[in-house]
A and B are shown apart, each in its own frame.
Chain A
């Protein structure tokens, strides 16, 4: 069944230069495998479209039931160079919660 990511996860996002990171945390331990299966770097990159000019990297933190996504080239140059309203990617975590995923 297709549901938004917000059904199984909460997030927090921020910046490091022109890279935005999004922490995706399972609301319950049993949701973690769903997140691992559904929230792949390819799908995250496609979801943000032209907002992400580089690659998306993913790291797993099973101890926290979480993944850490690095969205490279996602902040219009980042920091003080960027002309964007959200030059720090503060809102990207919330935006990702709309992504539709398959839930068992």
Chain B
């Protein structure tokens, strides 16, 4: 049995979580997920400005903080902290934690290969819209292939203490230690599916130990000290989800079910570079407090393609807010919205979209919100987006004047004009997997 813990569900997750996982009980592998789809574009921009950047900068100081304990307890770390510059990340880790053996996985970054792929006849059509990639070619900021668990396991096979990947799948981080330790082969689909589903359960950190949990949320114990999840994996593919005993939170089948369904598509075909997992085969059992046993998982062959994650610029946006108070808070906010729209029209400003929400009334759920006919206060929230930055800039000047020249009782303008942000949109496409060759490098 091996214990695999997840201490980071996204870049920006709780800094104390990985430290507590190491300190509060036994684990063999610490996995850390740093990358979201848009993160890669931010990192690519940072690398263009400074060739020594382009990775998750929280990671090296964390390893520096933990180094002595990792070595003492023989805990291996697997993280997709490398972003678009895994070697620079590895050097920073070595500077923070001299003496650790660090391996990186290359091959996911295809930013400089897009034209090569197009030349070979791959259209890389968007998986949602079906558009060919030519329509966004000049605006591409980053392009990465999602890689699976086997290259990460190969990196662990070198004896590395820390494995740094770029755009691996989230689930591969958890599956890789199982492939490494149990010697699972690429055609052992059921086991790979089980390890993948274990990864899905823990990839969002505390979301499977009582965080963001709707079921009895008021009764989740000691949320301030919530424990991050641990998988106790067996060589046959069965596993137990748990947490350290003294940590807060709760591990129960109700909690695990919520996380199993989180961001799920077709449950029969959960596709990864490693296998196709079938979520309708999962069997859960509450075997003891804070222990959920998972068995029965079946899977199928890996797909012949890998998914590309491509980011590109898609115009500009800005969202401004003002608060209106009782009486007639909602009516005042609606009147202010009409005034803003009329003024934008008069100025001749054109946008792809103008969107208004009434926060405190129905911004989250729209028609599904509960009735609230006379709210005590309402935040008016107007957003615009478009190709022309100057028009979006001009929009940001149109909200604050309403405090003096619009409906009465407006406040909440203390932050000044809202910022204008460049939109970095996301494009997903498929590429034959033989185009992506991965390579492991031990960085000295």
Q: Which residues of A pack against B, CB within 8 Å?
A: 10-12, 14-18, 21, 23, 25, 47-51, 59-66, 68, 70, 76-77, 79-81, 83-86, 91-96, 98-99
Contact = CB atoms under 8 A, between A and B. Distances in A.
A62 B280 contact: yes
Given A61-B280, A95-B368, A79 B319 contact: no
A59 B357 contact: no
A25 B257 contact: yes
B426 A80 contact: yes
Most buried by B among A18, A65, A80, A91: A80
Please report whether the interface of chain A is mostly helix, strand, loop or mixed according to DSSP: mixed
B211 to A, nearest CB: 11
A12 B365 contact: no
B366 interface: yes
A59 B260 CA distance: 14
A22 to B, nearest CB: 8
B25 interface: no
B215 A10 contact: yes
A10 B366 contact: no
B282 A51 contact: no
A10 B128 CA distance: 29
Contacts of B20: none
A93 B385 contact: no
A68 B383 contact: no
A12 B367 contact: no
Most buried by A among B212, B215, B314: B215
B353 A98 contact: no
B261 A84 contact: no
A103 B37 CA distance: 41
A21 B264 contact: yes
B186 to A, nearest CB: 26
Given A11-B214, A79-B38, A83-B383, A64 B260 contact: yes
Nearest to B283: A63
Contacts of A92: 365, 368
Contacts of A12: 212, 214, 258-259, 261-262
A80 B368 contact: no
A62 B283 CA distance: 10
Interface of B: 37-38, 128, 212, 214-215, 254, 257-268, 279-284, 296, 314, 317, 319, 353, 355, 357, 359, 363-370, 381, 383-385, 423-426, 428
Contacts of A10: 214-215, 254, 258
A79 B37 contact: yes
A98 B254 contact: no
Contacts of A77: 353
Contact of B284 (A14, A64, A80): A64
A16 B265 contact: yes
Contact of B366 (A21, A49, A59, A98): A49
Contacts of B314: 81
A70 B128 CA distance: 14
Contacts of B281: 63
Nearest to B365: A95
Nearest to A15: B263
A49 B263 contact: no
Most buried by A among B38, B261, B279, B381: B261
Contacts of B267: 59, 61, 68
B367 A51 contact: yes
Nearest to A97: B214
Given A80-B424, A81-B425, A91-B364, A21 B265 contact: yes
Given A64-B282, A83-B317, A96-B368, A70 B265 contact: yes
A48 B368 contact: yes
Contact of B423 (A50, A70, A81): A81
Contact of A51 (B355, B365, B370): B365
A67 to B, nearest CB: 9
B368 A49 contact: yes
A61 B279 CA distance: 7
A89 to B, nearest CB: 9
A37 to B, nearest CB: 19
Contacts of B383: 83-84
A76 B254 contact: no
Nearest to B279: A61
B148 to A, nearest CB: 19
A23 B256 CA distance: 12
A85 B423 CA distance: 15
Nearest to B355: A83
Contacts of A23: 257-258, 260-262, 264
In the A-B complex, the 3 residue pairs with the smallest Cβ-Cβ separation, listed nearest first, are A23-B261, A83-B383, A49-B367
Nearest to B421: A80
A39 to B, nearest CB: 13
